[in-house]
Structure 1
């Protein structure tokens, strides 16, 4: 069963395309169930984040093209639309890719830790959809162990720089002192939580959290000294913000050009700095055309991120060495699945012999035979049955001088290498 990793990410596709093929978190389980139901797809997992959409699938021979066809069809894309943006990895290359993704080696921010949690979420969704088979399930378990090993044995996670931190750092370059800035955070997920933490550390003058669920916004705001508003009230509060950082799972823009135009009029053209981390985007792209508005998308954070990447290259090389070793180990396990294990047949034959002889011994006792006689019959008969075929083959080997088989028998039965093969 070939294993395939198919996808696109921040290195191969622009955000305008990434947002078209992103999967709505609320519909992810249904999507992976649909993918698993495609002819020839035997197991499946979908990983969809702001920087990547990837399908990991085990397929029957001849069905290797099904995942890409399904991806086009699911997102209503014309055939060939994604061809120049997609990458595909097969077998051990797919395994290596998953390990590198989960450890943050393939992330925009090298070594960022959030991706591992997103991989775990994708795993839970696939399990809930009953879309995993033994090979892919084992791969995910191995992936989590590899990620832990890389974090423990290298400095890839030292001085972690997340996308949220990068956004705050970029804001600092615009506003020299965040203590004078009012910051509006839209959303309440992990990225916004991290941003709020960084902003609290920088002692931002004022922190506003807007979220669709007001209670969730209130909990986040309370943790970081801010206050919360409902997403529906966002137009009334947008003008207060010097800095806006947005990261939600909305499928359509939350902040429209008209909203920003109204806010800028209220602010009397006082500049506004905006960072849209979401994919699909939360802020209409045309907002960037407005005077005194500085809109940055997730792809615009690259310069700050590149500085971080250079500082972590040595740790990344160490991590890749660990990954190469673990790829070999997983592939060895995977290859073993296709090799018939005679130990299973031996055990089945032995258990069949045991049941037959045990039944006869019980019958002897039931007919009045002494228990010692029945036990002796059981032991002798079972020994003879289990050793009959091996003994015959070893006698033939001794007569023909087949030393390889004789030595293999010694190893098989746990005999000392220098001991003579018993006279069977």
Structure 2
């Protein structure tokens, strides 16, 4: 669970994509408030990108136009040759700033368009062949995703130039989704989750990201450090300490962990940002690089927090019930229910928040520091609460009993 992290504009942002994101978001807002207008969705989307309003967001889009980086043509040709992609027909351009895996690029050849990315900072939870086997099994079960491409030697990851690379087929789709997501799409997401869980591919452990706290310091100590260093968000962190500590207790020994259920190999990071509406209207799932093990109830709890809690803490109950209904329609039943189903979600949230705080305090580049400070302020202002998780559990229990 990444929490309500600030969205990142692509390197060459498209205003039409933002308008589509706002329309998709409007459908989710209207599940809870039928009177919601497009202006409300635009304002919410701008806030999720870390801007005060739609006008400010549009101005940033204008500022970033044409800022995509262009790769060395020789590198593009080497990648195309290594993966047998055909003859390069245009520049290889960056898609977005580097993330925790690497940087994404777009490459066009006479055989089509390809999603290319570096994997220099990628720390996989399972080996790449296990991850690809999950994708292949998911495709066989009807899940739509951009298929991974093997090189001429049969490898998924290749060292080319100064970087490690991997390639996927380009899937024509719309922009990433934003919470709260409409009930129509959350129902489909529930069906996808149940389908992947139903594959029951074995895995030897639960993802450490969902079971271990990596930061040695507590929230209060982190707030003191931020204050001492003059971080612009230090006061916001101090105000959020009680909420973060309350969320920590959800994963504590007093909460039923439901961890007696064996983990299955799953996507492991299936938030709205890793989903797209494909050209045919279906939900496409991207971002399989973090595949790992979770008990089905944990990943279901994680999906509920990402897809049905809006950035201001409200719960889209229609979306939550649709997600659960879609899951049950495929699986026949819901996995074990209890507050423990959110244990993995709150642990991964704690790891993400701590990591963002550290990045913001240590950033050297002015542009990166500006982004990180904006991201942290947004994240701390939009944390989920125990009350929201309890409401989601009530919905799940009610549907299960119905």
TM over 0.5, shorter chain: no
Q: Which one has more relative contact order, counting CA pairs under 8 Å at least 6 apart? A: 2
Larger Cα-atom Rg: 1
Shorter-normalised TM range: under 0.3
TM-score by length of 1: 0.21
TM-score by length of 2: 0.22
